[in-house]
Amino acid sequence: MENSSFSDKKKKVLEEKKKASFSGWFVLLIVLAVLLGGVAYWLVQGESSGRPELFSKTNARGERDDAKPTLQMTDIQVRVENGHILIPVDVLKEKKIVRFEYESNGVKVPLYAYLTLAGRVVTGISMCEPCKSTRFRIQDRKLVCNACDTEWHLETHKGIKGGCMNYPPEIIPHRVENDSIMIEEKVVLEWKPRV
């Protein structure tokens, strides 16, 4: 009888060891899987952070801002009425960055308008004054001069790199009214180059 009781106890202890051994392996496998997942995530994040084309971001309106990594200016015609230059809002929404010229008394002033990634409208004089270029592009979330490749922050026009960093295309005020972006002619006529 004592032998049978000893045998039962031995069997019970061995079964508990097996269970403990199995749960130990199970926990180890879970920890290993989490670690490998973390390393894989870190590798993917580290590689994609310098290459925006590897992942998709959205702007404040829920649209992809990397769908067109480089946006060139589109030339458009604008109307002038009651002392204001009128840019159609729907054209700007479609093209994202537009260029047009205001002409008065033989003076031509190149102008631009664009939408930032946050959906804000920016209007200004379309000129990189030191190099005299009047064309820009939006590339990698920056405003870039087509002639000298100087780069400015798209939202603030703060210089990032290039020879003309201290002379970003000058921003001029506007207002939006009746599906048009309105710039006062007077502001454009009074503009003078900084260099």
Q: Are residues 161 and 86 in the same domain?
A: yes
Rounded Cα gap, residues 150 and 126, in angstroms: 14
Q: What is the pLDDT of residues 2-55, one digit of tens each?
A: 556 766 766 666 666 666 566 667 777 787 777 666 655 554 444 333 333 323
Q: Are residues 147 and 172 in the same domain?
A: yes
Q: Are residues 43 and 83 in the same domain?
A: no
Q: Are residues 138 and 92 in the same domain?
A: yes
Token pair recorded at residue 164: 């003309």
pLDDT at 173 over 70: yes
Rounded Cα gap, residues 132 and 160, in angstroms: 19
pTM score of the predicted model: 0.63
Q: What is the structure's pLDDT at 40? A: 54
Dihedral sign computed on CA atoms, order 147, 169, 122, 92: negative
Place of tokens 């002033």: 109
Q: What is the pLDDT of residues 117-169, one digit of tens each?
A: 888 999 999 999 999 999 999 999 899 999 999 999 999 899 999 999 999 99
Rounded Cα gap, residues 170 and 131, in angstroms: 14
Residue 149 lies in a domain: yes
**Residues of the domain holding 133:** 70-190
Q: What is the mean pLDDT of residues 178-193?
A: 93
Q: Are residues 124 and 164 in the same domain?
A: yes
| Residues 145-172: b if buried by 16+ CB within 10 A, e if exposed | beebebbbebeeeeeeebebeebbbeeb
Token pair recorded at residue 103: 């002409």
Residue 163 lies in a domain: yes
Q: Are residues 74 and 169 in the same domain?
A: yes
Planar angle of CA 153, 91, 86, nearest 5 degrees: 90
Q: Are residues 79 and 146 in the same domain?
A: yes
Rounded Cα gap, residues 163 and 105, in angstroms: 33
Residue 62 lies in a domain: no
Residue 115 lies in a domain: yes
Residue 45 lies in a domain: yes
pLDDT at 68 over 70: no
Q: What is the mean pLDDT of residues 164-192?
A: 94
Q: Are residues 123 and 49 in the same domain?
A: no
Q: Are residues 92 and 1 in the same domain?
A: no
DSSP characters over 17-83: HHHHHHHHHHHHHHHHHHHHHHHHHHHHHHHHTT-GGGS--B-TTS-BSSSSSEEE-EE---EEETT
Q: What is the pLDDT of residues 80-130, one digit of tens each?
A: 999 999 999 999 999 999 999 999 888 899 999 999 988 899 999 999 999
Q: Are residues 25 and 114 in the same domain?
A: no
Give me the number of domains the chain comprises: 2
CATH classification of the domain holding 153: 2.102.10.10
Does residue 192 contact residue 109 with C-beta atoms inside 8 Å? no
Residue 1 lies in a domain: yes
Residue 64 lies in a domain: no
User: How many residues are given for the chain?
Assistant: 195
Q: Are residues 50 and 74 in the same domain?
A: no
Residue 63 lies in a domain: no
Q: Are residues 99 and 181 in the same domain?
A: yes
